[in-house]
Amino acid sequence: MYNYRYLILVLVLAMSGCSIDRDPLDQLSAGQFWKNQDDFDNAMTAIYGKLQTPMFSSGTPDWDLVTDNAYGQHNSGNSRDINAGEIAPSLGGFISDVYSNAYSGIARVNIFLHQMANYSGDFLSQETLNAYEGQAKFMRAYYYFLLYACYGDVPLVREPLDLNNFVQPKVDAAEILDFVYEDLDRAIELLKPVVYADGGGRVVKSSAQALKLRVLMYTGYDENGAADIAALTQARDLAAEIMDAGYSLSPRFENIFRDAQQEGNPEIIFSVKFLAPNNYSSMDQWYGDWVGVSPLPSFVALFENGDLRKDLSVFQNIVDFGTGKTHQPSNNMPTGYGMKKFLTPENMPYDYSTRSAQDWVMLRYAEVLLNYAEAENEISGPVTAVHDAINAIRDRADLGLLSSSLSQVQMRDAIRKERRIELAFEGIRYFDLKRWRIAGEVLNAVTDGITNYHFEDKFYHWPIPQSQIDISEGVLIQNDDY
Amino acid sequence: MTTKQITKNYKLIMLKHKRWVLPMGRKMLFCGGTICMLGAIHIQPGHAASTTMNDERNERTFRFSDLTNLQRTINGKVVNQEGIPLQGVSITVLGTASTGTISDRDGSFSLTVPAGATLVFKYVGYQEKQVSQFGQETITVSMQLETESLEEVVVVGFGTQRKANLTGAVSSVKGEDMTRRPVTNAAAMLQGQVSGLSVVQGSGEPGSEGVSIRLRGQGTFSGAGNNPLMLIDGVEGNLNDLNPNDIDNVSVLKDAASAAIYGSRAANGVILVTTKNGKAGQTMVDYSTNLAIHTPTRLFDLITNSADYMELFNEAKVNSGMNDPSGLYPQTTIDQYRNATDRQQYPNTDWLDIFFNPAFVQQHNLGVSGGSDKTQYNLSLGYVNQPGVFKAFEYERFNVRLNLASQVNDWLRIGTNIHAQQGNTQRPRNGAEDSFVSAMSQAPTYAPQLPDGRYVHKAYDFERNNKNMLAIIDNESFFKNRDYVLNFQGYFDAQLAPGLSWYTKGAVVVDLNNESDWRPNVPLYNFISGDFATNLDVGTTGLSKKRTENRYINVYSYLKYDKSLHDAHNFSAQVGYSYEDNQYQFLGGYRQHYFSNQLHELNAGGAAVQTNEGSGNEWALQSIFGRLTYNFKSKYLFEGNFRYDGSSRFNPDLRWSVFPSFSAAWRVSEESFIRDNDSFRWLNDLKIRGSYGILGNQNVNLNNKPYNYQDLYDFTGDYSFDNQELSTGVAQGTLPNRNITWEETAMYDFGVDMRLFNGLELTFDWYQKDTRDILRNIQLTNLVGLNAPLVNLGEVRNTGVELALTYRNQIASGYFEGLNYSIGGNIDRFKNTVTKFGAREIGGWTIKQDGQPWDSFYLLEVDGIFQTAEQIAAAPKQYNDNTLPGDLIYKDQNGDGIINDNDRVLMDGVFPAFQYAVNGSVSWKNFDLSILFQGVEGRKLYLNNWGIVPFVQGAAPTTEWLGRWTEDNPSTTMPRIYWGWDSPQKFSRASSYFLRDASYLRLKNLTIGYSVNPQQLAKIGIHKLRLFASGDNLLTWTNYPGLDPERGGSGTFITYPQNRIYSFGLNVQF
């Protein structure tokens, strides 16, 4: 009949005009990437960007919540459970987040290194390739060291994984440690021998050295807390090398942590950078207004009279830099104190609108000096070099010189106390308690911690997160004691 | 009526027995005996000016002219199906305004009408009936109760079917049954109407009721979701974007057989909404209005006496180990409040009372419908203004709809459905839950404002609180959205040959949102000193604006052929094509610094901190579908459906999939051994049916990234190396899975439909629904370091039964003679089992595990409250807790003598045991009444934070905490009180203490109406006038604490309340 022709016409039009091929509008397909140096540079930028994960930068002070330094009213990282001795495979918080965040950072490096290995173009110079490799391996070593220090035995992943091989068994902690050194040594070999301030904001040779020094110090004591002189000797020598690299203490303690004074600061060996308003953290709000870290009264009492760092590290009831502006935190102050060290006076009042741009200082010269002093004191006793290193730090805090008659043990105590104060809230204390093997002794003695503390030796190594055990079908074995 | 001239040529085709029909016409021209009828117009062949025959093609052409209609007087009687006369039946002539009458006591009437007129009989509670006269001067009209007649036509996918011929499980609801409820959300109106359809209204928040609709359990646990596919006049849409008054009927396609024609999107069932079309005849103007008072259904009682609050505060804090006196209220302060007479200085502020107030809600609808034989229209306008029971919540909606259909010629009908909706939503910017939370997270020791109007932070520094909501509201820190939904549909329906029709529809649906989020800078002051305390916490200050646009295009076209052989073998075949294309885009901007709180535009803000954002995505779907049906004398019925779908969301090699279904039914009652057997006279109808089919789900990660199968790199954010410029980071975010493909749901359904005793209808269904290849993020180890891709892995089974009953009757004699009533109910239950998940996953209070319902509760069981130290010493050690008398006793489930995470056990209640509804209606003389009860049994909710844990953010505890455990009051139900989030773990662990029974039965709706006698109205030109009063959520029976048990899932106890509604309205028709 006559009207069929319309039907045919419409059907033909409909069938021919309609394709269902669609692609994403705001993502790149892998086939289009890794085609020029910009792509590699962008991928390297993402490797640095990973460090802006709060756990690796602005949230690092939360690590002090699981020590005798501070209480966390918001239970960040499940700190209250960890302190109470509830560390268990399914706890979550730090127990699961360190694992997932570290491997996430490692994956980014592995993918980059994998693409570098497969690179066959002519747009990257050998110098560029070396710089890429050095930076990437520094990052990977940083993540593996964290895994090593928290869990001990973990899987060792060197290459990108996919759906066919994503279950991996764990390897011995010693193998992880070797791998950390392997990456760091390669990074030290490849990276530029300039101070960080001259390194264009990137990892330099001394950054890798300072990280290696931290690792060596971590391995410098045995299971009973006795010094391992071989390791400490290696540490001392490396520290000495860094001390010749051109760094010095920042004349003013606070300048290390204030955005305006960080660029070119002679003390900073590596930092995670932020640039407001578009690339920022919430440090001022989190610590200055929400009081995420509440220093314990017993910690505040440690400061000697006249220690400049007391008022620069801790506030009582109200944040006051003496600039005429103050900030009254909107959250509770369960201990009466708040952490002031990383707050920016200019950003007051602290609230949701505050865009914090202070860089997170991951490695700094004071730690190198303290490491040097600690190692040398264990090796040689309280020799002059030990006094010099620690007195440099005390001097900046406007404190007097240590008595020259200190015994080795007294010096050890002095260094440890100095270290606890100088590096407070920098995420160092928890690992110091572990490497010195004094966590049980110290933590079980805390009496002003709001919640009860309970530490057992098995907590020196955390359990591997239960979810990871559950999905590995027997390949990944839980750590002993859990 | 004037004489109608019809001078057109009509070509007729002869069926057997000399019945003639128009080949293309939808309005049939039947010729039987001496009269032909064209639509509503009767034509006597004598008026045909000429006829020509073409015997070869069985065609005959009539030429009509000059039809003069004779006036004639019709005498008749109206009776009901039992032969009882009906009084007060309105009788009008179709298409006329003036002619009409009402039947008298004996049901008799007399009316003078033009020859060929069609009489329309209307009576409350009865089906409207149209009668054409075929020469008789005296007629008896039997009216049928408004029952779901078997001749009723039910809307199914791409067409309609006689209910008697249905082989699948389809339920339908009439629009008028839905709009009885005085709520404004169409989806909520489906509650209790359909067995197997679970409708949970999340809250009573205006314009954002969070209505969750689940058909037959929870099929999948993936992001593909469990929402049924909702089609408005055949095109995907949202029930929220509709004026409920425009709904003619809703069909719910429950089993695979009826839904499979929608293939890849029908896994969760299909809901078909048909909007009202005009009817040929007199123009009807219909106005209805509904004025309502909303109040919260339930609100808990908080301690509002400051002194009581302070004492409990101190007790809780000390119990929680925070006994530093500087964090406690001094006794002198407590005494001051206790003894004060100046309540301005020492207030007992009832914070909830400030923010919760009755709201006045109005709805208006105006409709104009009618049309000629050729063109019918229905134009409607709707307006809703709904302030919330919480200050500053507001919703306003305008709807315009025009449904227009026209018979262009004898074979082509075209039409358009145009709908525009404009909604305005306003709420405090942090949303409903946060507003409620903030309102209650305050101490009664201070007021929201100082006497001079400045806003208060708090009275004492150690107090803990949340935002000052009054400051938020007065300073208009609101989220506002102006949204538009535009739905344009055009269609044609062509009669190509006898039995062969071709239907095509094209639609464009545009959804635009215009969002604004304003966060002003508002200083807050100390209540006592009046000193500046802090700035109001509204998040990052400034103004964000966002525009989103979603554009959806759907074109579908199908051919349908019906053939009947020897009046016994009835075939129909249908095949079609559909194309869908969706594009979404958004654009947003933000500025932080504003110098004035008055100006709410981006350009009024400082340029120092400003950002923008924007992105988009698109998807497309292409399908071929078809249906074959066959029945033998409507006794043995068979149906097959298929859909072949291709989706842009999958890799081209795996893109296409077939979704078939088969169903069959046997109408036992049509068998002669039943039909002709007097002992089965009580059995009016009995049908047994069964179906099987496979459905699909393609909503792969619909949110923003529909391209999981591709290997993609994301922009991961910036980094600055030099502290001056930002560099862009790019990295792989998600591991790809090239093999991702459809989720499939296979469903068996067996059902029985019965009608007994001329009034009792019963429908029973059993189903088993297996969803497999569920798209889930693979349980990737963290080692991969990337987000897990979706893989087709999980399996879930839902097995359930549904029963629906209705009984209708009329009282034939006695005082209540003429009283019609009906009572109905439905009940359904299902069992949900995850049959394949992978490694178990334990969440905060749930576990996902093979063999259990999805996300089952997994908790420590609380076994009372420790009363003595001896009891504690004798009990298993509770974690590393410092357990004290008054603490919860956790049960040692594994008997190892120590309580730890291994003592968590599965607990039921994540899905209800069953849900049910009972409804009734009565009409008698001018009165009508309807009632709806609705209930859910065996549902539990895990509740946390504010309202169940005392002093979270300083929130006043509920008054039940006055009965807490203390040494003087050794309670066995209320434990020792602890302080908010600083409560020790021994109280805050996920335990059955926080699992509460949310079963309820409620009087959902009660409506009483009065219709003014039509005879009286006729004098003033009014057709119909009905006044009604309606109440919603009037009574609730539940054990649930404090708030409304009808809510979304577990989690924060606080939800925006449901509304109890008292409304009055009228409906007038001209």
Backbone φ and ψ for B176, nearest 5 degrees, come out as -70, -25
In the predicted model, residues of chain B with pLDDT beneath 70 are 1-72, 81-82, 95-99, 114-116, 124-125, 133-137, 145-151, 223-224, 700-706
State pLDDT tens for residues B463-484.
989 999 999 999 999 999 999 9
Q: What is the structure's pLDDT at A239?
A: 97
Dihedral, CA atoms, B94, B96, B98, B104, nearest 10 degrees?
-10
Cβ pair A29, B711 in contact under 8 A: yes
Beta bridge partners of B489: B417, B507
CA of A72: how far to CAs of A101, A339, B643, in Å?
21, 11, 58
Task: Provide, as residue numbers in chain A, all residues whose Cβ is less than 8 Å from the Cβ of B611.
Answer: 277-278
Q: Do B706 and A352 touch (CB under 8 A)?
A: no
Q: Is A52 left (phi over 0), alpha (psi -120 to 50) or beta?
A: alpha
ipTM of the complex: 0.91
pTM higher than 0.90, yes or no?
no
Q: Which amino acid is at A77?
A: G
CA of A317: how far to CAs of A46, A330, A333, B528, in Å?
39, 11, 7, 18
Backbone φ and ψ for B1013, nearest 5 degrees, come out as -55, 125
Radius of gyration of chain B (CA): 33
Q: Is B764 on the interface with A (CB under 8 A)?
A: no
Q: How far apart are the first and last CA of chain A?
A: 81
Q: Do B719 and A273 touch (CB under 8 A)?
A: yes
Q: Hey, what are B220's tokens?
A: 């999948």
Q: What is the structure's pLDDT at B75?
A: 81
Task: Provide, as residue numbers in chain B, all residues whose Cβ is less than 8 Å from the Cβ of A473.
Answer: 839
Q: What is the structure's pLDDT at B66?
A: 38
Backbone φ and ψ for B1030, nearest 5 degrees, come out as -135, 140
Cβ pair B100, B90 in contact under 8 A: yes
| Chain B residue at shortest CA distance from A79 | B985
> Within a 10 A sphere around the Cβ of B809, how many other Cβ atoms?
17
Q: Is B538 on the interface with A (CB under 8 A)?
A: yes
Q: Hey, what are B19's tokens?
A: 């019945």
Q: What is the structure's pLDDT at B778?
A: 85
Q: Do A279 and B717 touch (CB under 8 A)?
A: yes
pLDDT at position A449 over 50: yes
> Within a 10 A sphere around the Cβ of A79, how many other Cβ atoms?
25
What distance in Å separates residue B832's CA from the closest CA in chain A?
23
Query: Residue B921 contacts by C-beta under 8 Å, 6 or more apart in sequence?
Result: B821, B822, B928, B929, B930, B931
Q: Average of pLDDT values for A48-64? A: 96
Burial call B453-470: b when 16+ CB within 10 Å, e when fewer: eebbbbbbbbbbbbbbbb
Q: What is the structure's pLDDT at B49?
A: 42
Cβ pair B182, B1030 in contact under 8 A: yes
Q: Do B581 and A18 touch (CB under 8 A)?
A: yes
What distance in Å separates residue B592's CA from the closest CA in chain A?
8
Q: What is the structure's pLDDT at B147?
A: 53
Q: Compute the Cα dihedral for A156, A160, A164, A166 and give only its sign.
A: positive
Give the count of alpha carbons within 13 A of B492, CB side only.
14
Radius of gyration of chain A (CA): 25
Cβ pair B717, B781 in contact under 8 A: no
Backbone φ and ψ for B289, nearest 5 degrees, come out as -140, 155
Q: Average of pLDDT values for A190-215? A: 96
Among residues A135, A131, A81, A87, the alpha carbon closest in space to that of A108 is found at A135
Q: Which amino acid is at B501?
A: S
Q: Do A107 and B786 touch (CB under 8 A)?
A: yes
Q: Which of B608, B785, B880 sits opposite A103 (nearest CB)?
A: B785
Q: Do B655 and A3 touch (CB under 8 A)?
A: no
DSSP state of B654: G
DSSP state of B390: B
Beta bridge partners of B857: B846, B907
Cα–Cα distance for residue pair A73/A294, rounded to 1 Å: 8
Q: Do B620 and A86 touch (CB under 8 A)?
A: no
State pLDDT tens for residues A144-178.
999 999 999 999 999 999 988 999 999 999 999 99
DSSP string of B986-1020, one letter each residue: HHHSSBGGGEEE--EEEEEEEEEEEE--HHHHHHT
For residue A277, say if its preceding peptide bond is cis, omega within 30 degrees of 0.
Answer: yes
Q: What is the structure's pLDDT at B7?
A: 42
Query: Residue B885 contacts by C-beta under 8 Å, 6 or more apart in sequence?
Result: B866, B867, B868, B869, B871, B872, B965, B967, B970, B976
What distance in Å separates residue A212's CA from the closest CA in chain B?
23
Q: Is B353 on the interface with A (CB under 8 A)?
A: no
Query: Residue B1026 contacts by C-beta under 8 Å, 6 or more apart in sequence?
Result: B1009, B1010, B1011, B1012, B1066, B1067, B1068
Among residues B441, B193, B200, the alpha carbon closest in space to that of B998 is found at B200
> Within a 10 A sphere around the Cβ of B702, how many other Cβ atoms?
16
Q: What is the structure's pLDDT at B793?
A: 86
DSSP state of B332: H
Residues composing chain B: 1070
State pLDDT tens for residues A316-365.
989 999 988 899 888 888 888 999 999 999 999 898 888 999 999 999 99
Q: Is B633 left (phi over 0), alpha (psi -120 to 50) or beta?
A: left
Query: Residue B308 contacts by C-beta under 8 Å, 6 or more apart in sequence?
Result: B962
Task: Provide, as residue numbers in chain B, all residues whose Cβ is less than 8 Å from the Cβ of A49.
Answer: 716-719, 729
* Site from B784, B882, B890, B985 to mutate, A interface, most A CB atoms within 10 angstroms: B784
State pLDDT tens for residues A101-111.
999 999 999 99
DSSP string of B607-621, one letter each residue: SSSEEEEEEEEEEEE
Residue with tokens 């009953």: B805
Q: Which amino acid is at B894?
A: N
Cβ pair A280, A356 in contact under 8 A: yes
Q: Do A29 and B494 touch (CB under 8 A)?
A: no
Q: Do A14 and B981 touch (CB under 8 A)?
A: no
Cβ pair B677, B670 in contact under 8 A: no
Cα–Cα distance for residue pair A460/A456, rounded to 1 Å: 8
Average pLDDT along chain A: 93
Query: Residue A121 contacts by C-beta under 8 Å, 6 or more apart in sequence?
Result: none
DSSP string of B123-149, one letter each residue: -TTB--EEEE-SS-SEEEEEEPBS---
Three-class SS state of B552: strand
Q: Which of A6, A52, A108 sits opposite B731 (nearest CB)?
A: A108
Neighbour-count burial of B339, counting CB atoms closer than 10 A to its CB (0-12 exposed, 13-18 middle, 19+ buried): exposed
| Chain B residue at shortest CA distance from A38 | B728
Report H helices in B761-918: 869-874
